[in-house]
Amino acid sequence: MRGSLDDLLALLWGAGGLVVSGYFLYLALGPGSLGNPWPLTGLAVVALVGFSTVAVRHRRAAKAARAERESGPVGGWRVTPRVPDAGPVPVGVPARVPAPPAPERSSPPELSVGGRAELARVVGVLDRAGLFRPRPPRPVDLMEAVADAGEPVTAATVLSGLWEIEYWHPEADPAPMRALAFHDSHVEQLEDTLREQVADLARLTGADITVEHLEVGERRTELTLAVVGKALPLSWASHPKYLSTVLHAAVARALPEVPLAWTWSDQGAWLAVPRTDLATLNAELGRAGDWSRVADEEPMAAGELIRPGD
């Protein structure tokens, strides 16, 4: 293993530096020293610095090799595609004509060694919070999508990478999205769009939420929900192409026992009901993300912030 070899070389170079510098110091200061001790003392220092520099480089290379081996799933990051065995062709059935070769893709984007380790870490944190159901994605299946978004790795780029798993790895399991919802911040706010948002909120919270009345005007939206049997009338200055969060805040406040949370990217909001409290989740994510309770946020009416023509 490369890491083991570099560890051995680091040890040898470090020990060699001590031996050589010690020999020069013995000649300079020991019995029978050769006159002025300073030249030999200088050589001892130079030898110690030189040998130590090489030892440190090998030590760093060993640590990098170990990090690369341990940053992903068992078996490493490179996964060879599974080719199903078609088996023998039955008698009387024409053989399948092979499909034309797919056009070659450019080299897939790659993460650094540290980026791979961070990707595996963030997937683990989000999985412990219950955001991946029925099962967590394999970090190896997310690597290209997250690398395409760029480093540093964040919770938002990991979640957005779920959409691209099928593109990079057609043989992989479907993306685990049951415990997640994404609401695009720049999309037409049609009646169907709002009904889908209501359905997402009902699915995530597990509450009975239905649309009793919905009217989307050019500059205003009127919506009445039934949340666990109670009427919740809403009205806000809307924009035809930008997301408003009045609906989200109202539902979250109507269900105070459900910790509906979100995290934002430049494309929109990821919503979930984490299994762990948000303080723990954010502490584990560190700089990789920040989740907040929807009920604690001030609702935003897009029509009040953005002119209709924009």
Q: Residues 249, 298: contact at Cβ < 8 Å? A: yes
Q: Which amino acid is at 134?
A: P
Furthest-apart CA pair in the chain: how many Å? 102
pLDDT surpasses 50 at 221: yes
In terms of average pLDDT, the best of 31-40, 172-181, 246-255 is 246-255
Burial classification of residue 287, based on how many CB atoms lie within 10 Å of its CB (0-12 exposed, 13-18 middle, 19 or more buried):
exposed
Residue 205 has a CB neighbour count (10 Å cut-off) of 21
Higher pLDDT, 18 or 75: 18
Q: What is the pLDDT, as a whole number, of residue 69?
A: 54
- pTM score > 0.85 for this model? no
B/e letters for 43-56, b = 16+ CB within 10 Å, e = fewer, are: bbeebbeebbebbe
Question: What's the mean pLDDT when you consider all of the chain?
Answer: 85
CA-to-CA separations, 227 to 70, 194, 251, in angstroms, rounded: 47, 15, 8
Q: What is the pLDDT of residues 29-80, one digit of tens each?
A: 777 666 777 777 888 788 888 888 888 887 877 776 665 555 554 334 444 4
Residues 74-97: what's their mean pLDDT? 47
Q: What is the pLDDT, as a whole number, of residue 82?
A: 47
Residues 79-93: what's their mean pLDDT? 48
Residues 250-266: what's their mean pLDDT? 96
**Cis-peptide, bond into residue 152, ω within 30° of zero:** yes
Task: Return the CA Rg of the chain.
Answer: 30
| Ramachandran angles phi, psi of 244, nearest 5° | -105, 155
